[in-house]
Amino acid sequence: MTKGVFGLQDILKLQKLIVPEMVDLLEKRYIILRTIYYNQPVGRRVLANMLGLGERIVRTEINFLKTQELIEINTPGMSVTNNGEVVLEKLKEFIHEIKGLSETEEQIRKALGMRKVIIVPGNVSEDANILNELGKAAANYAKAIIKNKDIVALTGGSTIKEVVDSFPKVSGLNDILVVPARGGMGRKVETQANTLAARLAEKLNGNYKLLHVPENLNWQVLETLTKEDEIREVVATIHKANILIYGIGRADNMARKRGLSKAQQEELLRLGAVGEAFGCYFDKNSNVVSVSPTLGINLNDISKISTHIAVAGGADKVDAILATELNREQGVLITDEGAAMEIIKFLNLDA
């Protein structure tokens, strides 16, 4: 850097050092605006409860945002204006930089041996709206790398639903095929991999194939199913996927969601399982200790897939993230600030 010339990072660091209260106020107003955006129309009292702030403080900030024409107040409640949406998007980048999250991304990327790490400001454990931000970040990244003739496989779950919800309608791509990464999983139709694959294909102006296989079948039954021409064809296509988008879960939570018996859950605990991704249970040393019996992407396929996009947030998922993502050279991790800071502590990267 030329002497006497300040870059953006230098200016931000100076602001944080000299006027930290300005940075705090900026972040507070950003959070308030973001919360209104994701819950609009919303009343003042409900907003105060969501934010855990006093109504008087919220009233003062609302008056400021209204004066700046960033929000409007109507009978149903408050909503963000078009100007407010533009400011919110630009503030997101500013907050990212002012918190030094670009440096944190690089620290974690190097430590885990991954291709890329993207951190969203906030903590999904404390603010459910951050799940929307995770979805947006993952959708933006995926949209930027998907090219003609790609086969995209995705898992189910509420986090991946947010990714699909955040995808805009894309034009200009040809011969895109979207498939569920694995069969079964989930009682909610709207978060099942089949449903999400069909919806994403529509947004990408592509095609999709579905895999209708129930959860918790034994290997013998699954082997019989693979003899069916239609199922065999879909599974063969899934194995050719070159992009995989998936969520990461805690092993104990995923075992319960999959309806495993108490004995099976205890066995996973005995094996030291802490994280789950694409049907595989990992221990803290990133070893696969158990695999859910279902059709679709398996452990042997993973190394052949050129890009893995893992989406997970929350400080409670740190063990699961570290277990499933260590040394994944093709891996891209989209996470939140809450999880990232815990990863930094766990790996002692701030020492």
Chain segment 2-43, per-residue pLDDT in tens? 445 556 667 777 777 787 778 888 888 999 999 999 999 999
CATH of 8-97, one of 1.10.10.10, 1.25.40.80, 3.30.2010.10, 1.10.3300.10: 1.10.10.10
Contacts 24+ apart (CB under 8 A), 187-196: 190/161, 191/156, 191/157, 191/158, 191/160, 191/161, 192/156, 193/154, 193/155, 193/156, 193/160, 194/156, 195/156, 196/154, 196/156, 196/160, 196/161, 196/164
Longest dimension (CA), the chain: 72
With beta carbons less than 8 A apart as the criterion, state whether 275 and 251 touch.
yes
Domain residue extents for the chain: 8-97, 100-346
Q: What is the mean pLDDT of each run of 10 residues along the chain (351 residues)?
A: 56 74 85 92 91 88 93 92 92 85 93 94 90 94 95 93 93 92 73 92 94 74 78 88 94 87 90 91 92 80 88 93 86 95 86 47
Compute the distance between CA of residue 326 and CA of residue 333 in angstroms, rounded to an integer. 11
pLDDT at 184: 64
Please count the other Cβ atoms lying within 10 Å of the Cβ belonging to residue 33.
21
- Tokens 């107040």 belong to 73
**Both structure tokens of 216:** 């918790």
Does the 100-346 domain belong in CATH 3.40.50.1360?
yes
